[in-house]
C-alpha cells in the first residue's frame, strides 16, 4: 500500500472515529477489521518522499523553477518589435485600438520603444537584448514560449496562478504536486526546496507560493536562507550531541505515534517525517552548503567571484548541487522586476545579477550529464505593456511599463522540451497573441507530462471534490516536446 492510499485511509478513519458514536463506531470497527495488514505496517515509519512511479516514463526527473517575480519586460529582453521603434512616443494607432476592443486601453496611450540593442544568437538566430548576452549564448538549448497568457493582472493572484494553478489560497504549489506524485530520490534533504535572492524586496505572494495546500504538510517547500545561516537551528545547542539528539527525536516520534493511534490524524505522520528528516539534514546539509570542492572554473561560471552575481549565482549552484543529490523540485525566487518606472535602470540591475548565473547553470548541467533529465524553467507571472506607464507622469529617462497578462515569455530548457525552438507569436506591437496561445494551465499540463504524469489523473479528493494543479482545464502542448 503506497502513501497516498494510507493517507486516504487514515482520513476516513479519523472522520469515522470522530463522528456520531453509534454509526461511526460500527463503521470504524468494520474498517479496522479489513485493514490488519495495513495496521501491521506502522504509519510512523512511512516516508512520504519515498520514490513513486509516475503514470508513464518521464523525460524529466527534477525541476529547477527560476521565478522572476514582478514581470520582466519581454519587449526589452527577448522580443524586438520594429513597429514600436516607428511609433515611439506616438499614441497607439486608432485602427489598432479598434481591433483590440479593450475598454481599459486609453486612446491617449503612447507607444514606448525599447532603447535596447538586439543581437541574434544560435543556429536559429534567436533575438536577445544586450542586457542578456549570456542567456543568448545558450540559445540552442532553449525552448522559448512567446505566447503564454494568464487570467490575473495583479501580482499576488498572478503569482498564485503560475505557482499553484489557481488564484485562490490553499492550493498546492507545483513543487508540492511534483513531490506528492514522484517522491524524492534524496533521503537526507527535503524533496522540495525554496531559495531566495535579492530577498530584501520580498515576493508579493510570500509563502503561499510554495504551500502544500490541501496536501499533507510534508510536501510544503522548505525555505533555505540566502544569507547567514542557511537553515535556522540546524546546529545543536551546546551540550547536545548527536546521540542525545537522536534519542530526543525517537522519544518525540514515539509520543506522536501514540497520539496517532488515538486520533488517526494523518498530519501526525507528516510531523514524524519532518522530525526524522530534520535529524538527517543535520548530517547532510553542511556538506551540501560547502562549496570548497567546487573548482575555480565552476565558481566563475556561476559568477560567485563577482559581487553583482554572487547572490543569485550561489543559489543557482546550490540548485545544481541539490538535484545532483536527488532533490526533486528546487525553486529560485528573484524579486523584483516590477518596473513601472526607471525600467532601463532597474532592468539592467536585475539582468546583471541573473544573466551570467543562469547560463552557468545550463552549461554546468550539460557538462555533468544532468541537463536532459533536469527541466529548468525561467518564468514570471505576466509580461509588460508596449505602452509607457504614465501613473507617475511622463518623466524622460524614467519611463516604465505596466502589467500585461495577455502575452509574455516563458523559457524552458532540458527535461524533454525542444532545444533551439520558439513557439507562439504576438502582433506587431506585442500586445496580443496571434499564434499558438499557451494558458498557464496548458503550461502546467505540459510540465507534468515531462515528469511522467497525465495531469487529469494527478488528483486528490478534498471535501468531496477532486483537486488537481490544472483545475478543470489544461492541455499538453506536444509541439513543445522532443
Q: Answer whether 177's CB lies under 8 Å from 317's CB.
A: no
**pLDDT at residue 398 in the model:** 86
Give the burial string for 389-409 (b: 16+ CB within 10 Å, else e). Answer: bbeeeeeeeebbbbbbbbbbb
**pLDDT at residue 238 in the model:** 66
- Number of Cβ within 10 Å of residue 94's Cβ equals 9
- Using CA atoms, how far apart are residues 192 and 327, in angstroms rounded to an integer? 7
**pLDDT at residue 144 in the model:** 98
Whole-angstrom CA distances from 225 to 58, 93, 177 are: 31, 48, 23
Beta strands at 425-426 and 433-435: parallel, antiparallel or unpaired: antiparallel
**pLDDT at residue 7 in the model:** 57
151 by Cβ neighbours in 10 Å (0-12 / 13-18 / 19+) ranks as middle
**pLDDT at residue 202 in the model:** 75
**pLDDT at residue 34 in the model:** 41
- Using CA atoms, how far apart are residues 326 and 129, in angstroms rounded to an integer? 35
**pLDDT at residue 252 in the model:** 75
**pLDDT at residue 263 in the model:** 79
**pLDDT at residue 25 in the model:** 45
Nearest alpha carbon to residue 211 among 318, 54, 331? 331
Question: Packing angle between helix 343-367 and helix 310-324, nearest 10 degrees?
Answer: 30
Q: What angle do CA 103, 106, 108 make, to 5 degrees?
A: 165
**pLDDT at residue 47 in the model:** 77
- Using CA atoms, how far apart are residues 49 and 27, in angstroms rounded to an integer? 31
- Using CA atoms, how far apart are residues 102 and 17, in angstroms rounded to an integer? 56
Q: Give the domain ranges of the chain.
A: 1-41, 42-79+115-480
Strands, DSSP E only, in 403-468?
403-404, 408-413, 421-423, 425-426, 433-435, 438-439, 460-462, 465-467
Give the total residue count for the chain: 482
Nearest alpha carbon to residue 141 among 421, 341, 389? 421
- Tell me, rounded to whole angstroms, the distance of Cα 198 from its chain centroid: 17
Q: Answer whether 356's CB lies under 8 Å from 303's CB.
A: yes
Q: Answer whether 57's CB lies under 8 Å from 452's CB.
A: yes
**pLDDT at residue 439 in the model:** 98
The cell numbers describing 471, all together, are: 483545475
What's the alpha-carbon Rg for the chain, to the nearest Å?
Answer: 24
The cell numbers describing 431, all together, are: 500586445
**pLDDT at residue 124 in the model:** 85
**DSSP of 226-248:** SSS-SSTT-SPPTT--HHHHHHH
Q: Answer whether 415's CB lies under 8 Å from 63's CB.
A: yes
CATH class of the structural domain 42-79+115-480: alpha beta
Average pLDDT along the chain, 482 residues, taken 10 residues at a time: 58 58 45 37 61 96 98 98 94 77 64 96 96 98 98 96 96 97 92 84 89 93 74 63 71 78 75 68 79 96 95 96 96 95 95 98 98 98 91 74 96 98 96 97 98 97 94 97 97
- Using CA atoms, how far apart are residues 88 and 230, in angstroms rounded to an integer? 47
Whole-angstrom CA distances from 367 to 20, 78, 83, 324 are: 62, 26, 40, 13
Q: What angle do CA 217, 222, 225 make, to 5 degrees?
A: 150
CA dihedral 317, 322, 326, 330 (to 10 degrees): -100
Amino acid at each position: 500500500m503506497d502513501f497516498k492510499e494510507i493517507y486516504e485511509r487514515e482520513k476516513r478513519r479519523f472522520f469515522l472515529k470522530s463522528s456520531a458514536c453509534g454509526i461511526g463506531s460500527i463503521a470504524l470497527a468494520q474498517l479496522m477489521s479489513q485493514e490488519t495488514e495495513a495496521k501491521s505496517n506502522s504509519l510512523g515509519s512511512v516516508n512520504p518522499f519515498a520514490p513513486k512511479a509516475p503514470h508513464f516514463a518521464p523525460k524529466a526527473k527534477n525541476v529547477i523553477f527560476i521565478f522572476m517575480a514582478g514581470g520582466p519586460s519581454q519587449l526589452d529582453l527577448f522580443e524586438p518589435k520594429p513597429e514600436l521603434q516607428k511609433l515611439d512616443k506616438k499614441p497607439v494607432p486608432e485602427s489598432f485600438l479598434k481591433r483590440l476592443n479593450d475598454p481599459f486601453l486609453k486612446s491617449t496611450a503612447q507607444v514606448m520603444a525599447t532603447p535596447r540593442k538586439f543581437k541574434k544568437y544560435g543556429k536559429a538566430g534567436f533575438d536577445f537584448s544586450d542586457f542578456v548576452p549570456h542567456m543568448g549564448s545558450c540559445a540552442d538549448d532553449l525552448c522559448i514560449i512567446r505566447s503564454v497568457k494568464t487570467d490575473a493582472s495583479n501580482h499576488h493572484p498572478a503569482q498564485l496562478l503560475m505557482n499553484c494553478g489557481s488564484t485562490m489560497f490553499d492550493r498546492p504549489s507545483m513543487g508540492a504536486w511534483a513531490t506528492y506524485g514522484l517522491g524524492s530520490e534524496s533521503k537526507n534533504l527535503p524533496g522540495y526546496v525554496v531559495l531566495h535572492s535579492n530577498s530584501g524586496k520580498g515576493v508579493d505572494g510570500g509563502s503561499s507560493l510554495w504551500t502544500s495546500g490541501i496536501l499533507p504538510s510534508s510536501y510544503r517547500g522548505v525555505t533555505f536562507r540566502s544569507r547567514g545561516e542557511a537553515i535556522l537551528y540546524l546546529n545543536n545547542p551546546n551540550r547536545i550531541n548527536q546521540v542525545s539528539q537522536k534519542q530526543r527525536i525517537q522519544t518525540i516520534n514515539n509520543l506522536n505515534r501514540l497520539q496517532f493511534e488515538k486520533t488517526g490524524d494523518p498530519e501526525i505522520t507528516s510531523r514524524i517525517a519532518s522530525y526524522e528528516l530534520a535529524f538527517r539534514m543535520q548530517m547532510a546539509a553542511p556538506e551540501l552548503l560547502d562549496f570548497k570542492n567546487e573548482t575555480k572554473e565552476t565558481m566563475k561560471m556561476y559568477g560567485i567571484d563577482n559581487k553583482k552575481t554572487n547572490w543569485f549565482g550561489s543559489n543557482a549552484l546550490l540548485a545544481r548541487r541539490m538535484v545532483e543529490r536527488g532533490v526533486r523540485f528546487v525553486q529560485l525566487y528573484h524579486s523584483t522586476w516590477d518596473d513601472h518606472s526607471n525600467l532601463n535602470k532597474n532592468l539592467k540591475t536585475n539582468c546583471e545579477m541573473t544573466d551570467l548565473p543562469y547560463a552557468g547553470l545550463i552549461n554546468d548541467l550539460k557538462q555533468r550529464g544532468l541537463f536532459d533529465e533536469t527541466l529548468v524553467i525561467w518564468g514570471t507571472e505576466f509580461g509588460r505593456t508596449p505602452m509607457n506607464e504614465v501613473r507617475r507622469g511622463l518623466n524622460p529617462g524614467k519611463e516604465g511599463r505596466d502589467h500585461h497578462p495577455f502575452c509574455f515569455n516563458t523559457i524552458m530548457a532540458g527535461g524533454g522540451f525542444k532545444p533551439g525552438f520558439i513557439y507562439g507569436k504576438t502582433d506587431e506591437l506585442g500586445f496580443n497573441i496571434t499564434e499558438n496561445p499557451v494558458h498557464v494551465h496548458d503550461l502546467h499540463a505540459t510540465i507534468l507530462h515531462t515528469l511522467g504524469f497525465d495531469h487529469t489523473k494527478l488528483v486528490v479528493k478534498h471535501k468531496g471534490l477532486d483537486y488537481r494543479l490544472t483545475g478543470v482545464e489544461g492541455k499538453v502542448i506536444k509541439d513543445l516536446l522532443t
